Amino acid sequence: MSTVILQQGINGIVFGSLYVLVALGLTLIYGVLVQINFAHADVVTLGAFAAYFFTFVFGGNYLVSIGVALVVGAALGWLVNAAIFAPLRERGSELLPLIATIGASILLQNAMLIWFGPIPYAFDSPYSNAVLRLWGGTYITWQNLIIIGVSTLTIAMLYAFMKLTYMGKALRAVAQDRETAGLMGIDPNKLIMLTFVIASALAGMGGAMLGPILVLTPFAGTTVIVKAFAIVIIGGFGNVEGTIIAGLLVGLIESYTTQLVNPGLTDIVVFTLLLAMLALRPTGLIAEKREENV
């Protein structure tokens, strides 16, 4: 029994790491703009397809394909901000960008359906079947090690960027008070653009690592983004630390529910936790404080 618990703990950390990468993008955008980007799911999907085609069509290395997906995601983030958020931001309505991103999501999904077709792609990473034996009869694939390692490094770098660099501190200032930050010589529009680029780059990376462990279709990101929204709410809207804790928690809950209870109940358990959190602690695990967001 202890072996099962340890093995599921490892699996939970793997999925939790991926959830955190995707959810952090939503958290950053909400923390700075108090807006939700529904097209974030499709950035995840396009990141996965970018990694797939780079690896299997162009014969590239899978590890390099994660970087390719990061670049594709960053470019999409720049495009979404330039085409949707920037033009609508000054019109004074928070509803317009929200509706626009829903339309952009539908557009991207149907475009991918036309380009890639409805048939699922088998995205087998070279590391998916390479198994590393651990203690007590547990094991982990090299693919999962890559996921944990890349996710941990990326999250640590993002945290250091936000807390220690001038640009990170400027971004936090924009999140706290955009007008005052502008008066202090900070260009809010450039920082908002940077937020979208970073958030979408994280989503693209997440897609590249998610592809080999899920079925790759034009709607692959949708299944993950629903969990990401739940994680952002559970962790506390706009709070980076809360998102990291909630993402790992959801990954572990899913893993243990699948093994010890019933695989069909994983979503029910996660969203029951979400409802309980909304009822008992609507501010999330870490209460939102605008001056401490992102």
Q: So what's the pLDDT on residue 291?
A: 47
Q: What is the pLDDT of residue 52?
A: 94
- For residue range 192-201, list pLDDT tens digits in order: 999 999 999 9
Minimum mean pLDDT among 2-11, 78-87, 188-197, 207-216: which range?
Answer: 2-11
Long-range contacts formed by 106-110: CB under 8 A, 24+ apart: 108/39, 108/42, 108/45, 108/46, 109/42, 109/45, 109/218, 109/219, 109/222
| Cα 130 from Cα 141, distance rounded (Å) | 6
CA neighbor of 35 nearest in space, from 48, 26, 46, 43: 26
Please state, rounded to an integer, the average pLDDT across all residues of the chain: 87
Q: What is the mean pLDDT of residues 170-180?
A: 84
pTM greater than the 0.95 cutoff: no
Q: Which of 82-91, 194-203, 258-267, 281-290 has the lowest mean pLDDT?
A: 281-290
Tell me the per-residue pLDDT of 209-229, one tens digit each, with 9 for 90 and over. 988 888 889 998 888 888 898
For residues 133-137, give the mean pLDDT: 75
Of all residues in the chain, the percent with pLDDT exceeding 70 is 96
| Whole-number percent of the chain with pLDDT over 90 | 36
Is pLDDT above 70 for 1?
no
Q: Which domain holds residue 60?
A: 2-292
Measure Cα distances from 24 to 29, 62, 83, 140, 251 in Å.
9, 23, 22, 25, 15
Tokens 């090690």, residue? 145
SS3 label, residue 93: coil
Yes or no: say if 155 and 163 are a contact pair by the CB < 8 Å rule: no
Average pLDDT over every residue of 228-254:
89
The count of structural domains within the chain is 1
CB atoms within 10 A of CB 166: 8
Report whether pLDDT(266) > 70.
yes
Confidence at 287, pLDDT banded by 50, 70, 90: low
Question: Hey, which of 114-118, 179-183, 213-217 has the most confident mean pLDDT?
Answer: 114-118
**pLDDT reading at 87 higher than 90:** no
**65: domain CATH number?**
1.10.3470
Give the other-Cβ count within 10 Å of 61's Cβ.
Answer: 12
How is residue 60 written in tokens?
């590239």
Q: Indicate if the pLDDT at residue 81 is higher than 70.
A: yes
More confident residue, 219 or 264: 219
